[in-house]
Chains A and B, each alone.
Chain A
Amino acid sequence: MPRKKDTDDINIEMDADESESDDGGNNKRTNNRRQGAGRGGARGRGRGKKPASEDEDEDDEDEAPKGRRGANKKKPVKKRGGRNAKDDDDSEDEAPKKGRKGAANKKKGGKAQDSDDDDSDAGKGKKGKRGGKKGGKDEEDSKGKKGDAKGKDKGKDKDNDNDKKKKKKKDDSSDSDSNTNSEEEESMSEGEMARLMEEVEEKKKLIATIRNKPWRMKRRLVHLKEAQEFVDKFEGALGKGKGRKWYAYKVMMKKKWIKFSRDFENFRTACIPWERKIKEVESHFGSSVASYFIFLRWMYGMNLVLFGFTFGLVVIPEVLMGLPYGSIPRKTVPRVDQHSAQDYSVLMDFQGYCKYSIMFYGYYNNQRTIGLLKFRLPLSYLMVGIGTFGYSLMVVIRTMAKNADVGGGDGDEGEFTFAWKMFTSWDYLIGNSETADNKYASITTSFKESIVDEQENQKDENIHLRRFLRVLANLMIVCSLGGSGYLIYFVVKRSQEFANRDDLSWYEKNELELIMSLLGLVCPPLFETIAELEDYHPRIALKWQLGRIFALFLGNLYTFLFALFDEVNNKLEQEGSIRNASLWAMKEYYANYTLFLNDSSLTPPPMPPADVIRGPCWETAVGIEFVKLTVSDIQVSYLTILIGDFARAVIVRFLNYCWCWDLEAGFPSYGEFDISGNVLGLVFNQGMIWMGAFYAPGLVGINVLRLLSSMYYQCWAVMATNVPHERVFKASKSNNFYMGLLLLILFLSLLPVVYTIMTLPPSFDCGPFSGKPKMFDVIMETIDLDLPAFLGTLFSYAANPGLIIPAVLLMVLAIYYLNSVSEAYQNANMELKKKMQMARDEEKNRRNNTDSTNQVMKDLEDLLPRGSLMAPPEPEKPPEPESRLTKTKPGSAGKGVNLQKDVALASPNPNARGPVNRSPGPRGAGPGQGPGRGQGPGPGRGRGRGPPPR
Chain B
Amino acid sequence: MGNKQTIFTDEQLDAYQDCTFFTRKEILRLHSRYHELAPHLVPMDYTNDPDCKLPLALIVNMPELNENPFRNRIVESFSEDGMGNLSFNEFVDMFSVLSEMAPRELKAIYAFKIYDFNVDNYLCKEDLVKTLNRLTKEELTPEEVVLVCEKAIEEADLDGDNKLSYADFENMITRAPDFLSTFHIRI
Which A residues lie at the B interface, using CB under 8 A? Answer: 207, 210-214, 216-218, 220-221, 224-225, 262, 265-266, 269-270, 275, 279, 282-283, 287, 406-411, 415-420, 422-433, 435-436, 440, 443-444, 447-448, 450-451, 454, 730-733, 840, 843-844, 847-848, 877, 880-882, 884-886, 888-892, 895, 947-948, 950
Which residue of B63, B70, B110, B169 is within 8 Å of A426 (Cβ)?
Answer: B70
Q: Give the 8 A-B residue pairs with the shortest CB-CB distance, closest first.
A: A409-B177, A947-B105, A411-B175, A217-B89, A881-B166, A436-B67, A848-B160, A217-B93
Q: Can you give 19 A-B contacts (C-beta < 8 A)?
A: A210-B19, A211-B19, A214-B106, A270-B25, A406-B180, A408-B174, A408-B180, A411-B177, A416-B155, A416-B172, A422-B132, A422-B152, A425-B182, A429-B184, A429-B185, A429-B186, A444-B139, A448-B144, A451-B147
Residues 101-131 of B, flagged 1 when their CB comes within 8 A of A and 0 if not, give 0111110011111010001110000001001
B172 CB contacts on chain A under 8 angstroms: 416, 419-420, 423
B70 x A733 contact (CB < 8 A): no
Closest residue of A by beta carbon distance from B26: A269
CB under 8 Å from chain A, chain B span 138-165: 139-140, 144, 147-148, 151-152, 155-161, 165
A270 x B23 contact (CB < 8 A): yes
A731 CB contacts on chain B under 8 angstroms: 181
Taking A212-B106, A882-B121 as contacts, is the C-beta distance between A891 and B178 under 8 angstroms?
A: no
B169 CB contacts on chain A under 8 angstroms: 423
A877 x B80 contact (CB < 8 A): no
Chain A binding surface, main DSSP class: helix
A843 x B158 contact (CB < 8 A): yes
**Alpha-carbon separation in the docked complex, A422 to B180 (Å):** 14
- Name the distance in Å between B54's Cβ and chain A's nearest Cβ: 15
A266 x B182 contact (CB < 8 A): no
Known: A423-B131, A423-B173. 18 other contacts (CB 8 A): A210-B18, A216-B80, A217-B89, A217-B92, A218-B87, A262-B14, A409-B176, A431-B63, A440-B139, A443-B136, A448-B140, A844-B160, A881-B165, A882-B166, A890-B81, A891-B119, A948-B105, A950-B105
**Alpha-carbon separation in the docked complex, A509 to B128 (Å):** 66
**Alpha-carbon separation in the docked complex, A432 to B64 (Å):** 9
B19 x A424 contact (CB < 8 A): no
**Alpha-carbon separation in the docked complex, A947 to B166 (Å):** 12
Residue B33 at the A interface, CB < 8 A?
A: no
A224 CB contacts on chain B under 8 angstroms: 15, 18-19
A416 x B159 contact (CB < 8 A): no
A211 x B155 contact (CB < 8 A): no
- Name the distance in Å between B59's Cβ and chain A's nearest Cβ: 14
**Alpha-carbon separation in the docked complex, A113 to B35 (Å):** 40
A888 x B148 contact (CB < 8 A): no
A411 CB contacts on chain B under 8 angstroms: 175-177
- Name the distance in Å between A643's Cβ and chain B's nearest Cβ: 32
- Name the distance in Å between B12's Cβ and chain A's nearest Cβ: 9
How many inter-chain residue pairs (CB < 8 Å) link A and B?
231
Instruction: Choose among A214, A287, A436 the residue with the greatest number of B CB atoms under 10 Å from its CB.
Output: A214
- Name the distance in Å between B35's Cβ and chain A's nearest Cβ: 17
Residues 75-106 of B, flagged 1 when their CB comes within 8 A of A and 0 if not, give 00000111000010110110010100011111
**Alpha-carbon separation in the docked complex, A889 to B167 (Å):** 16
Residues 21-49 of B, flagged 1 when their CB comes within 8 A of A and 0 if not, give 10111100000000000000000000000
**Alpha-carbon separation in the docked complex, A279 to B81 (Å):** 31
A283 x B89 contact (CB < 8 A): no
A950 CB contacts on chain B under 8 angstroms: 103, 105
Chain B binding surface, main DSSP class: helix
B135 CB contacts on chain A under 8 angstroms: 422, 425-426, 440, 443-444, 447
Taking A217-B90, A844-B159 as contacts, is the C-beta distance between A885 and B180 under 8 angstroms?
A: no
B63 x A221 contact (CB < 8 A): no
**Alpha-carbon separation in the docked complex, A877 to B170 (Å):** 13
Residue B6 at the A interface, CB < 8 A?
A: no
Residue B69 at the A interface, CB < 8 A?
A: yes
Taking A844-B160, A947-B103, A950-B105 as contacts, is the C-beta distance between A423 and B111 under 8 angstroms?
A: yes
A419 x B155 contact (CB < 8 A): yes
Taking A217-B89, A409-B177 as contacts, is the C-beta distance between A884 and B139 under 8 angstroms?
A: no
A422 x B148 contact (CB < 8 A): yes
A424 x B178 contact (CB < 8 A): yes
- Name the distance in Å between A168's Cβ and chain B's nearest Cβ: 27
**Alpha-carbon separation in the docked complex, A431 to B186 (Å):** 10
Residue B4 at the A interface, CB < 8 A?
A: no
Closest residue of A by beta carbon distance from B167: A881
- Name the distance in Å between B175's Cβ and chain A's nearest Cβ: 3
Instruction: Choose among B93, B147, B175 the residue with the greatest number of A CB atoms under 10 Å from its CB.
Output: B175
A877 CB contacts on chain B under 8 angstroms: 167
B9 CB contacts on chain A under 8 angstroms: none
- Name the distance in Å between B186's Cβ and chain A's nearest Cβ: 5
B19 x A847 contact (CB < 8 A): no
- Name the distance in Å between A205's Cβ and chain B's nearest Cβ: 13
B183 CB contacts on chain A under 8 angstroms: 424, 428
A409 CB contacts on chain B under 8 angstroms: 174-180
A419 x B90 contact (CB < 8 A): no
- Name the distance in Å between B136's Cβ and chain A's nearest Cβ: 4
A216 CB contacts on chain B under 8 angstroms: 80, 89-90, 93
Instruction: Choose among A220, A424, A454, A877 the residue with the greatest number of B CB atoms under 10 Å from its CB.
Output: A424
B176 x A426 contact (CB < 8 A): no
B23 x A265 contact (CB < 8 A): yes
**Alpha-carbon separation in the docked complex, A224 to B12 (Å):** 11
Closest residue of A by beta carbon distance from B96: A211
Taking A409-B175, A430-B68, A890-B80 as contacts, is the C-beta distance between A266 and B119 under 8 angstroms?
A: no
**Alpha-carbon separation in the docked complex, A427 to B161 (Å):** 30
**Alpha-carbon separation in the docked complex, A422 to B151 (Å):** 11
**Alpha-carbon separation in the docked complex, A216 to B113 (Å):** 13
**Alpha-carbon separation in the docked complex, A891 to B115 (Å):** 15
- Name the distance in Å between B125's Cβ and chain A's nearest Cβ: 12
**Alpha-carbon separation in the docked complex, A891 to B137 (Å):** 28
**Alpha-carbon separation in the docked complex, A429 to B65 (Å):** 9
B156 x A419 contact (CB < 8 A): yes
B16 CB contacts on chain A under 8 angstroms: 221
Instruction: Choose among A224, A265, A431 the residue with the greatest number of B CB atoms under 10 Å from its CB.
Output: A431
A207 x B18 contact (CB < 8 A): yes
**Alpha-carbon separation in the docked complex, A430 to B70 (Å):** 12
Closest residue of B by beta carbon distance from A259: B14
B159 x A843 contact (CB < 8 A): yes
A416 CB contacts on chain B under 8 angstroms: 155-156, 172, 175-176
B151 x A884 contact (CB < 8 A): no
- Name the distance in Å between B127's Cβ and chain A's nearest Cβ: 10
Closest residue of B by beta carbon distance from A877: B167
Taking A429-B185, A431-B63, A947-B109 as contacts, is the C-beta distance between A440 and B176 under 8 angstroms?
A: no
Closest residue of B by beta carbon distance from A213: B106
B81 CB contacts on chain A under 8 angstroms: 890
Closest residue of A by beta carbon distance from B179: A424
B182 CB contacts on chain A under 8 angstroms: 287, 424-429, 730
Residue B20 at the A interface, CB < 8 A?
A: yes
A423 x B93 contact (CB < 8 A): no
- Name the distance in Å between B21's Cβ and chain A's nearest Cβ: 6
A211 x B20 contact (CB < 8 A): yes
B167 CB contacts on chain A under 8 angstroms: 877, 880-881
- Name the distance in Å between A525's Cβ and chain B's nearest Cβ: 28
Closest residue of A by beta carbon distance from B17: A262
B15 x A884 contact (CB < 8 A): no
B67 x A430 contact (CB < 8 A): yes
Closest residue of B by beta carbon distance from A454: B151
**Alpha-carbon separation in the docked complex, A217 to B15 (Å):** 10
